[in-house]
Amino acid sequence: MESALHHLSIYQAHKLLKEGQTTSVELTEAVLRQIEKVEGLVKAYITITPELALKQARLADEKILRHRKAGESFSPLLGIPISIKDIICTEGIRTTCASRILENFFPPYDATVVEKLKEAGAVIVGKTNLDEFAMGSSTENSAFFPTRNPWDLERVPGGSSGGSAAAVAAGECLGSLGTDTGGSVRQPAAFCGVTGLKPSYGRVSRYGLVAFASSLDQIGPITKDVTDAALLLSVIAGHDPKDSTSVDYPVPDYLKALVPEVKGVRVGVPKEYFIEGMEEGVEKAIREAIDCLEELGAEVVEISLPHTKYALPTYYLIAPAEASANLARYDGVKYGLYIPASELWEEYRLTRGNGFGPEVKRRIMLGTYALSAGYYDAYYLKAQKVRTLIKKDFDEAFEKVDVIVAPTSPTVAFKLGEKVEDPLKMYLSDVFTIPVNLAGICAISIPCGFSEGLPVGLQVMGPAFGEEKILRVAYAYEQATQWHLKRPPL
């Protein structure tokens, strides 16, 4: 029993803790053993915190014992080993954003989501690797090392939350928090054969999330199945006065949405998401998943999202423009890397030149150009207008259908190094995920099959604050299939 503890879902582990069949210390030790065993191959973590984890696990066990004696229920996260993407601030634990510029940064406070995890009694096992400042689709842009896909160590785990997705798939934690600016939770979840949920913009506090593109970033769960995604979302969702973009809107009980039944649910299939260049095996798996939903009683409707083709260029103007403004704070003056020089401008040049990697520099330059006088109207302003049209497409579609289903990515995980020299090719990995962030809506990626022996992800999109709808459809599909139970042969 104990050897398989690290492969349990959060929900299963909670049940065993409740029944006294295992302890948080046993769970945490099983996860730490798995990290020791496979981390050398996968490289999912930047920082591992075994002492802290075991201390939190011992405290959790004391609380569980008290609750059990009093016959009380307790938080489903109490005593559960979780990892956190290394772009979310953790008090006293190094937070690097996978960048040399923050290599030795120890935040003096916790992000709101981390506070909420701690209040729920979660055990933090470490901080996971990512593309530097979340800029990338493969986790190859980390300043430290690339993470590898547990299904095939020669391939990428996706990005930018590649470390989180790989850690969940490899049993190096029971769940993880990632961030999604243009698909960074969903695409790695698809590549690693796990579940990744991007909440609606404003549903989860961004306080303590190191900003990349403030109008697009969202924190979301990466888990082994849909139930766990609902559990984690329930804990981290909600209004936060410390984040002016967080919405004061009641948080429903997401577990109640998990009914294995979609009779009468209208499912839209956008014709623009089945494009040339999509891998045959991916299309086949997605079509079969849509057929499965139809067999379960869903009503499948073909829809159109006509401005989809403009999403990629729109995103690559808005996101770098916001990044250029957000990353201006790394100047070596207040915190982070500092390289002294004889004059201030030289200090800036040396600090930023040595501190940022090539992809981050590329995006800062793109963004600064788009925001510069004379180009602002032609690029940034126009991109914001197109963004409104993309949002309008979704608003109109959701008047006709309850959810929209599509592939998460046009391909399965590609080989390490395959797209590094061609940024445009790399950017195309996010062609199906980016529109969701531009529109501020919610979406989930769940495993729906394999192509060439690698996982394929099905994306279910819902209206803003329609998380219950996407969870219901994702859960019904998951319960009717076995894909979420497959484990990589590590």
The CA radius of gyration of the chain, in Å to the nearest whole number, is 21
Q: Are strands 123-128 and 45-48 parallel, antiparallel or unpaired?
A: antiparallel
Q: Are 259 and 477 in contact (CB under 8 A)?
A: no
- In the structure encoding, which two tokens stand for residue 342, read together? 């004889």
Helix, strand or coil, per DSSP, at residue 218: strand
Token pair for 362: 């590329």
The one catalytic residue in 184, 200, 409, 445 is: 184
Residue 381 tokens, joined? 């302003």
Task: Show contacts of 35-39: CB within 8 Å, 24+ apart.
Answer: 35/125, 35/126, 35/172, 38/150, 38/170, 38/171, 38/172, 38/490, 39/172
What is the residue type of 16? Answer: L
Counts of helices then strands in the chain (DSSP H, E):
15, 11
Any idea of the CA torsion for 13, 15, 17, 18, to the nearest 10 degrees?
160
Separation CA 335–CA 168 (nearest Å): 32
Amino acid, single-letter form, for residue 348: Y
The answer to whether the CB of 76 falls within 8 A of the CB of 10 is yes
* Pairing of β 299-303 and β 403-407: unpaired
160 belongs to the catalytic site? yes
Beta pairing, strands 442-451 & 195-198? antiparallel
Contact, 425 vs 419, CB < 8 A? yes
Whether 410 contacts 279, CB under 8 Å? yes
Contact yes or no for 354/100 (Cβ under 8 A): yes
For the beta carbon of residue 334, count every other beta carbon within 10 angstroms.
8
Annotated active-site residue in 99, 137, 160, 445: 160
φ, ψ at 423 (rounded to 5°): -55, -35
The tokens of 370 are what? 């788009």
Report d(CA 204, CA 184) in Å as an integer. Answer: 16
The CA-CA-CA angle for residues 239, 432, 149, to 5°, reads 90
Q: Confirm whether 242 is a catalytic residue.
A: no
Distant-in-sequence, close-in-space partners of 314: CB < 8 Å, separation ≥ 6: 383, 386, 387, 390, 438
Contact (CB, 8 A) for 293 and 405: yes
Active site residue 429: no
The catalytic position among 43, 85, 127, 198 is: 85
Angle at 104 between CA 100 and CA 106, to 5 degrees: 130
List residues with catalytic annotation. 85, 160, 184
